[in-house]
Amino acid sequence: MPVKEILKETEGIMKKAIDSAKREFNEVRTGRAHPGLIEGLHLDYYGTPTMFKEVAAVSIPDARTIVIQPWDPTVIPEIEKAINQSSLGLTPMNDGKIVRLNIPALSEERRNELAKLVKEMAEKGRISLRTMRKEANDKVKKMETSKTISEDDSFKAHEEIQKLTDKFIKDIDVLLEEKSKNLKDIN
């Protein structure tokens, strides 16, 4: 496997890790309504795990309300069940046609808990990226030991892998900063 392939593969895996971290950050409730809160939730739709956006329109009529309007009103109980089983801590209300989620304001204590949680999530993301870096470096090291690449190429590859890692860790830091700022800015 040439060094370029290792770099490309590592970059792809790291991008997926960043996407995963973004999804996790979106699921943290900041006191403002946004579709990302329920995007990752699945409901049981005729025996098949299905994402909300596939069975309903999700809208945000104001800063503290999420409205889920299913195309088939018979799935409302399943939508409510999925929300109740999630870690959102929200209580769904329905009128037979739509499901409404009211997002309560966060207490200072809850905000601090969420800030800690977000920091832990960011650290897990960094650890994940470092693990990917180690695996890529090990592959390059094996190629150097088996004399498939020169010592110079190995050194350059390690540098490129480190640059990738630094870039993606910076992305996680930006996500953490934005989420922390959102948690502080809530009234």
For 18-39, letters b (16+ CB in 10 Å) and e give beebbebbbbbbbbbbbebbbe
Residue predicted with more confidence, 24 or 122: 122
pLDDT above 70: residue 1: no
Q: What is the mean pLDDT of the chain?
A: 85
Question: HEC profile for 128-172?
Answer: HHHHHHHHHHHHHHHHHHCCCCCHHHHHHHHHHHHHHHHHHHHHH
Helix 3-26 and helix 108-145, axial crossing angle in degrees, nearest 10: 170
| Greatest C-alpha distance within the chain | 69
pLDDT above 60: residue 187: no
Q: Which fold has domain 36-102?
A: Gyrase A; domain 2 (3.30.1360)
Instruction: Report which secondary-structure segment, H or E, holds 43.
Output: strand 42-45
pLDDT above 80: residue 94: yes
Q: Is the Cβ–Cβ distance between 74 and 44 less than 8 Å?
A: no
- Encoded tokens for 159: 């540098």
Domain residue limits, the chain: 3-26+107-184, 36-102
Instruction: Give the mean model confidence (pLDDT) for residues 107-123.
Output: 85
Beta bridge partners of 44: 49
pLDDT at position 59, please?
Answer: 86
Q: Could you report how far apart the first and last alpha carbons of the chain are, in Å?
A: 54
Instruction: Give the mean model confidence (pLDDT) for residues 58-79.
Output: 86
CATH number of 3-26+107-184: 1.10.132.20
Instruction: Give the mean model confidence (pLDDT) for residues 48-72.
Output: 85
Q: Is the Cβ–Cβ distance between 72 and 43 less than 8 Å?
A: no
pLDDT tens, residue by residue, 28-55: 766 677 777 777 788 888 888 888 888 8
Closest C-alpha among 154, 174, 164 to residue 132 = 164
pLDDT at position 184, please?
Answer: 75
Tell me the pTM: 0.66
- Encoded tokens for 163: 């640059």
Q: Is the Cβ–Cβ distance between 82 and 43 less than 8 Å?
A: yes
> Reduced to 3 states, what is the DSSP secondary structure of residue 56?
strand
Q: Is the Cβ–Cβ distance between 12 and 166 less than 8 Å?
A: no
Instruction: Give the mean model confidence (pLDDT) for residues 73-99.
Output: 84
